[in-house]
A and B are shown apart, each in its own frame.
Chain A
Amino acid sequence: MAALLSVNDLCVKYKTFEGIVHAVNGISFDIPERGTLGLVGESGAGKTTTALSLMRLIPAPPGIVERGKISFGGRDIHALSEAEMKKIRGNQISMIFQDPMTSLNPVLTVGLQISEAIVAHQNTSEREALKRTQEMLEKVQIPSARHKEYPHEFSGGMRQRVGIAMALACNPRLIIADEPTTALDVTIQAQVIELMRNLRQEFSTAMMLITHDLGVVGEVCDRVAVMYAGEIVEEGSLEQIFEDARHPYTTGLFKCIPDIEEDSSQIQPIMGLMPDPFDLPSGCCFHPRCPSCMEVCRVERPAFLRENGRTVQCHLYAKGGVTQ
Chain B
Amino acid sequence: MSSKTRDLSDGTGGAASKRPLLEVRDLVKHFKVGAGIVHAVDGVSFSIMKGETLGLVGESGCGKSTTGRALIRLIDATSGSVTYQDRDILALSKPEMTSMRKEMQIIFQDPFSSIDPRKTVGDTIGKPLYIHRVGTKREREDRVDHLMELVGLSARLYNKYPHELDGGRRQRVGIARALALSPSFIVCDEPVSALDVSIQAQILNLLEELQNTMKLTYLFVSHDLSVIKHLSNRVAVMYLGKIVELSPTLSLFKNTLHPYAQALLSAVPVAKLRRTRERIILTGGVPSPIHPPSGCRFHTRCHHKTPVCSEREPQLLDAGEGHFVACHLVHKV
Contacts and interface: CB of A to CB of B under 8 A. Distances in A.
Interface of A: 42-43, 155, 157-158, 185-191, 193-194, 212-219, 238-239, 242-243, 252-261, 263, 265, 267-271, 273-274
B92 interface: no
A185 B281 contact: no
B59 A267 contact: no
Do most interface residues of chain A lie in helix, strand or loop, or is the interface mixed? Answer: helix
Nearest to A239: B273
Contacts of B265: 260
25 contacts: A158-B285, A185-B60, A186-B264, A188-B59, A188-B285, A189-B267, A189-B269, A190-B279, A191-B282, A193-B269, A213-B269, A215-B268, A216-B269, A218-B269, A242-B272, A257-B226, A257-B271, A260-B270, A261-B272, A261-B276, A265-B226, A267-B230, A271-B202, A273-B169, A274-B166
Nearest to B205: A269
A188 B226 CA distance: 17
A185 B59 contact: yes
B201 interface: yes
B200 A256 contact: yes
Top 10 A-B pairs, shortest CB-CB distance: A215-B269, A258-B230, A269-B201, A190-B267, A214-B271, A256-B201, A185-B59, A42-B196, A270-B198, A269-B202
Contacts of A42: 196-199
A318 B270 CA distance: 31
Interface string B213-249: 0000000000101110110000000000000000000
Interface string B252-269: 010000000001111111
A258 B229 contact: yes
B273 A253 contact: no
Interface residues of B, number: 42
B250 interface: yes
Contacts of A191: 281-283
Given A191-B282, A215-B270, A267-B204, A253 B226 contact: no
Instruction: Among B166, B263, B271, find the residue whose CB has the most chain A CB atoms closer than 10 A.
Output: B271
A194 B281 contact: yes
Contacts of A193: 269
A256 B198 contact: yes
A107 to B, nearest CB: 21
B331 interface: no
Nearest to A256: B201
B87 interface: no
B163 interface: no
A252 B286 CA distance: 36
A260 B223 CA distance: 13
Given A155-B285, A273-B199, A274-B196, A187 B269 contact: no
Contacts of B223: 185-186
B277 interface: yes
Contacts of A255: 201
Given A155-B285, A186-B223, A269-B205, A215 B198 contact: no
Given A256-B200, A269-B202, A187 B267 contact: yes
A255 B204 CA distance: 13
Interface string B175-195: 000000000000000000000
